[in-house]
Chains A and B, each alone.
Chain A
Amino acid sequence: MNQKQLETWAPWGLLIATLVIWQAACSLFHVSEFVFPSPLRIWEQMVEYRDVIAGHAWRTFWVTMVGFGIAIVVGVLLGFVIGSSRLAYAAVYPLMTGFNALPKAAFVPILVVWFGIGVGPAILTAFLISFFPIMVNIATGLATLEPELEDVLRVLGAKRWDVLVKVGLPRSMPYFYGSLKVAITLAFVGTTVSEMTAANEGIGYLLISAGSAMQMGLAFAGLVVVGAMAMIMYELFSLVEKHTTGWAHRGSQNH
């Protein structure tokens, strides 16, 4: 097995090793499944409640995707505005940084007051938590143009808009796709957190209700499912990234 194959299989190896050790520890020390369920127990529960889990998972998935979709639109627009104007950058950036420092879970009770229990708070929490990296990355891509290149184009009579469209936007695409990978995982966090207090459906709700019923196996199964969904979406976006902006990744690790 060469180095590259080894790198491809390394995460799977680590996962299996972790599961084996976990299972062995639970079996050897007879850990109660109400405290810390073994991987086998989690698997059993997952199979047993597969329909319930699938229903909640689907809800969490589409809610996250809607929130994420709004985050892309808002993030790109805001990023475009603050990346293309120094004044807008100066005005908006400090406020946005402050906003980003707020824990998004703290918004959930407020959103419940405004929108009631259900999809509203979950979608908005997913959006609030995930638009920031998209906005920052678009803005950075646009704001860091080489001055020489700008001169080359300005001498030709290029308007600011020309420079943004011909150079700025394509240049910020790798940053954009990079940020999508980060943002999608954050969006899942947002949805799940919100569903824990403000929904009657979704993985977050499942976690809370399974926990209060002492069904630890089921709760862990929920965690596994939401983690798997986030990872699949992450991989999907890195695939898109590699195929659309290959020029930005040349030479790095032979992608």
Chain B
Amino acid sequence: MTASPEHFVDFQNVWLAYNDELLAQNHFAVEDINLQVKQGEFIAIVGPSGCGKSTFMKLTTGLKKPSRGEIYVDGQPVNGPLKISGMAFQSSSLLPWRTTLDNVLLPLEIVEPYRSNFKAKKAEYEARALKLLQSVGLGGYERKFPWELSGGMQQRASICRALIHEPKMLLLDEPFGALDAFTREELWCTLRDLHAEQKFNVILVTHDLRESVFLADTVYVMSKSPGRFVVKRDIDLPRPRDLEVTYTPEFTHIVHELRGHIGAMRKDGAHLGQ
């Protein structure tokens, strides 16, 4: 099999066991994943804790290699860390000794081609970082240290750090999980606007079904042990979506439907556990 050019991310029968011992026992963290994502598509992956969502992220970024199957991103087989991607996690993991601006600039000190001319073009990169910070509502906070920012602001800065090298793909692992409901909804809108403007691919891993339905073009439901994709749901709500959409019957209907899938899985899991 080869990469299909129309798909930006292409998983073909991907299996992963964390080590050889587990592989020999046929014990896989994720099983038989087939996934095709279009250029610029926003997908969300939902599922119970410990179902292999984070493993999936590691596969996509090339931090882990699949035990079986093939992964292509942007037409290329994934063999190692994928520099065209940016990541953000539930904890913002900003460096406390760097200002917000310097935190956002960190990837440019590491990734090529920026790394080799970082000193020469620092002013230009700073301007870019400032613009990005401005666009997420952090204008004026660039000289503050992370601990001087609120949780929501830290998370905005963390997303800026993931986007500063203009990645083609943004991977978010429960990025809003630790925030209060209002801040979370604000950040949904920030992410929505960034995505609409820059057209990068997004893979969002989340527990929050409303979040997944509000933001994504396609929602995948993952089951726990074995970690498989069990449901693919296209979200056909028109864009741009306003927060108001979350109070419409269509929206609620989709959330309910997804909730049903997860509820059914949890019941099965409990049954198996007895």
Contact = CB atoms under 8 A, between A and B. Distances in A.
A170 B63 contact: no
B106 A148 contact: no
Interface in B71-101: 81-83, 85-89, 91, 93, 95-97
A151 B61 CA distance: 9
Contacts of A101: none
A154 B81 CA distance: 7
Contacts of B62: 155
Interface string A152-168: 11111110001000110
Contacts of A157: 81, 83, 110-112
Nearest to B80: A157
A157 to B, nearest CB: 5
B96 A248 contact: yes
A245 interface: yes
A250 interface: yes
A152 B91 contact: no
B109 A155 contact: no
Interface string A216-255: 0000000000000000000000000000010110100000
A155 B83 contact: yes
Contact of B110 (A148, A151, A156): A156
Nearest to B82: A155
Interface size class of A (residues with CB under 8 A): 20 to 34
B165 interface: yes
B145 A247 contact: yes
Contacts of A51: none
A156 B165 contact: yes
Q: Give 5 nearest A-B pairs by CB, closest first.
A: A156-B111, A149-B93, A148-B89, A247-B96, A158-B110
Contact of B106 (A146, A155, A166): A166
Interface of A: 146, 148-149, 151-158, 162, 166-167, 170-171, 173, 245, 247-248, 250
Contacts of A250: 147
Contacts of B173: 148
Contacts, number: 63
A170 B165 contact: no
A148 B93 contact: yes
Interface size class of B (residues with CB under 8 A): 20 to 34
Contacts of B165: 156
Contacts of B87: 151-152, 155
Given A154-B63, A156-B111, A148 B91 contact: yes
Nearest to A148: B89
A149 B107 CA distance: 11
27 contacts: A146-B91, A148-B91, A149-B95, A152-B161, A152-B162, A153-B107, A153-B110, A154-B63, A155-B63, A155-B81, A156-B107, A156-B110, A156-B111, A157-B81, A157-B111, A158-B110, A162-B110, A166-B109, A166-B110, A167-B95, A170-B97, A171-B97, A245-B97, A247-B145, A247-B147, A248-B97, A250-B147
Residue among A151, A162, A166 with most chain B CB within 10 A? A151
A158 B63 CA distance: 12
Given A153-B110, A156-B165, A158-B110, A247 B97 contact: yes
Given A247-B147, A250-B147, A155 B97 contact: no
Contacts of A247: 96-97, 145, 147
Given A152-B88, A152-B161, A247-B96, 10 more contacts: A146-B91, A148-B91, A149-B93, A151-B89, A152-B89, A154-B81, A155-B85, A157-B83, A170-B97, A247-B147
Contacts of A162: 110
Nearest to A251: B147
Contacts of B89: 148, 151-152
B178 to A, nearest CB: 13
A158 B162 CA distance: 14
A149 B91 CA distance: 9
A254 to B, nearest CB: 15
Contacts of A170: 95, 97
Interface string B161-195: 11001000000010000000000000000000000
Contacts of A152: 87-89, 93, 161-162
Contacts of A153: 106-107, 110
A3 to B, nearest CB: 24
Contact of A156 (B58, B83, B95, B96): B83
Nearest to A163: B110
Contacts of A151: 58, 61, 63, 87, 89
